[in-house]
Chains A and B, each alone.
Chain A
Amino acid sequence: MLSNTEKELIVQIWDKMIPVAEDIGSEALLRMFTTFPKTKTYFSHLDISPRSDHLRCHGKKIVQALAEGARNISTLTTTLAPLSRFHAYQLRIHPTNFKLLNHCILVTLACYMGENFTPVAHAAIDKYLSAFSAVLAEKFR
């Protein structure tokens, strides 16, 4: 359940990430692969070494999707429908992995924003990422 203040905060934060989408996205993925090596199994078709083109490109897609979702929070299910189908029917990711990437996104934002990543911002983004992941996993069964 997101308050209006939280929704505004979420949009503000993700809008700031759009110009650095490649950096933020690739860093979150790299953190996830380093801390939770089992997550690499879903990316065996890509070169996910640090600073690789695939990592930067994929990271950018993730941040752009998160930014778009932020601007359409009340219609997440509709906005994310294609991504939701993709994750359910093609990627078939074990749902626990969403939490691992979400945590690494939080850590990346914390490193990037420093003290501006306040407890209130942390709570808002965590709630948003949970809601986003739930929509992505919606069609799994």
Chain B
Amino acid sequence: MVQWKAEERAAIQAVFAKLDYESVGRETLTRLLVVYPWTRRYFGGFGNLFNSEAIMANPKVAAHGIVVLRGLEMALKNMDDIKNTYASLSELHSEKLQVDPGNFQLLGDCLTVVIATRMRTEFTPDIQAAWQKFLAVVVSGDGS
């Protein structure tokens, strides 16, 4: 089981407290689809994802961005048992959606970059380290 130091919990809570799910969610998914274009294969029903302008304006991308962040919130609320919290989501992504697990890492990286653009100097190396430890647990919980 993952051990969390008090300052790590505090750092992760602090990052979440600043997240505007709508805008951060939309931008995170946009970046995933723009920076790593192969991930578009999982979003066949989303309409026009042909170029960065289309992706940035796509309402389904925006809506799904919020879904992703709400999913991440589940882990925040159950930090001591992320693996079980994600049991059904993990099955959905692996069995039904058949997502290559490497892509979860990329989504996490995009989210980290978006947070960095919003928090700027407040996203210190220590806060980044705690945040990425959290994402690493989420990614392995969702990917197994």
Contact = CB atoms under 8 A, between A and B. Distances in A.
Chain A interface SS verdict (over half) = helix
Interface of B: 27, 30-31, 34-35, 52, 55-56, 109-110, 112-114, 116-121, 123, 125-126, 128-129, 132-133
> Which bracket fits the contact residues of A?
20 to 34
A107 B128 contact: yes
5 contacts: A31-B129, A108-B116, A110-B117, A122-B34, A122-B35
Given A114-B120, A122-B34, A106 B113 contact: yes
B112 A107 contact: yes
Interface of A: 27, 30-31, 33-35, 50, 103, 106-108, 110-115, 117, 119-120, 122-123, 126
A114 B116 CA distance: 7
A34 B128 contact: yes
B123 A34 contact: no
B109 A103 contact: yes
Contact of B125 (A31, A119, A123): A31
